[in-house]
Amino acid sequence: MKNLLLSATALGLALTAGSAYAADLPSRKAPPTYIAPAPVATWTGFYVGLNAGGAFGGGSAQAYGGPVWANPLGGPLAVQVSSALGTVTNANLSGSNGGFLGGGQIGYNYQWGQHFVVGLETDIQGFAGGGGGGSAVTAASYVPAVDTQIGATSVNRSLDYLGTVRGRIGYLVTPTLLLYGTGGLAYGGANLSSTFFSADQVFVPAGALTPAFGGSSYSDTRVGWTAGGGVEWLFSPNWSAKLEYLYYDLGTAVTPASLPTHSAVVAGVPFASAAQQVSSHFYGNIVRVGVNYHFNWGAPAPVLAKY
């Protein structure tokens, strides 16, 4: 009995010592879960996008007398008639080019340091309702109180499309908010057309002047310049939204001289005639919004810490 009691006591002491020793051993914990750092915002790389907005503004058109012809046998009176016919073609026509536009752009940015971004962008957009025009009525008298020539002119102009190739330079207010200026080449499909009508008011029968009709048109791609600025927000590593203003100037287009729009015939003999041309300055303003997808091709690879 005594031996059994001693054996149980020794076993208890051994178990107690073993538990204490196990408690003193170092524990092995699972490694912490790896959380990838948020990507660093960068503007460097290629991008493509869409835009939409409105165009407004534009210059006036001018109709003016083109080549004139006077029958030398008519003497001074033929010169007066020719001068009057040329004068009646002159008119200033106000009107603006405006409408909706939409299209796309592609470009490349390079981020220089922490605050500057430079790049190159090209875009093209079509116009919907991007036209304007005007009309005017003029008169000229070559024999006061005897005969007066009256002319009516109507002009229409429009842009089918407008494209640009521009440089951009901007300042990063924050890593994701860019203020930029931009400028470069602009080109567009310009259309200019006109119609004319003339009639003669005879007070004293002294011959016969025939009413005349005419018209001219111009359609071509014009090249000019553009400049503006905007703000762009990189709201995710691959997407940005922008608000942009551009002024464009495609220069002045001139229609070819029409067929003689005003003719004078006296006793069945051509006495004098005049043609008409129209010029119009194509320029305006654009305000648009856009969205870009950034591929980040060419962007520097992120630096990962080594463990």
Can you give the length of the chain in residues? 307
Flag whether pLDDT at 144 surpasses 80: no
Average pLDDT (99-113) is: 94
257 phi, psi to nearest 5 deg: -60, 135
12 phi, psi to nearest 5 deg: -65, -45
Residue scoring higher pLDDT (262 or 2):
262
- Give the CA distances from residue 303 to residues 109, 111, 176, 260, 299, in Å, rounded to whole numbers and listed in that order: 21, 17, 20, 75, 12
Residue with tokens 């922490």: 114
| Residue 146, pLDDT score | 59
Ranges 134-143, 188-197, 239-248, 261-270: which has the least confidence: 261-270
| Domains along the chain with CATH numbers | 42-294 (2.40.160.20)
Report residue 253 as tokens. 């287009």
For 61-80, give the DSSP string. Answer: EEEEEEEEEE-GGGHHHHHH
Flag whether pLDDT at 221 surpasses 70: yes
Average pLDDT (289-300) is: 83
Ranges 46-60, 129-143, 212-226, 274-288: which has the least confidence: 129-143
**Closest of 277, 278, 256, 250 to residue 127, by C-alpha:** 250
Read off the pLDDT of residues 69-90 as tens digits, 9 standing for 90 and up: 777 777 777 777 777 777 777 7
Residue scoring higher pLDDT (256 or 58):
256
| Residue 189, pLDDT score | 93
| Residue 1, pLDDT score | 53
| Residue 39, pLDDT score | 55
Flag whether pLDDT at 22 surpasses 70: no
| Residue 162, pLDDT score | 95
pLDDT band of 58, cuts 50, 70, 90 = confident
Average pLDDT (227-246) is: 97
- Which residues fall within 8 angstroms of residue 121, CB to CB, at 6 or more apart? 105, 106, 107, 108, 164, 165, 166, 168, 182
Read off the pLDDT of residues 170-189 as tens digits, 9 standing for 90 and up: 999 999 999 999 999 999 99
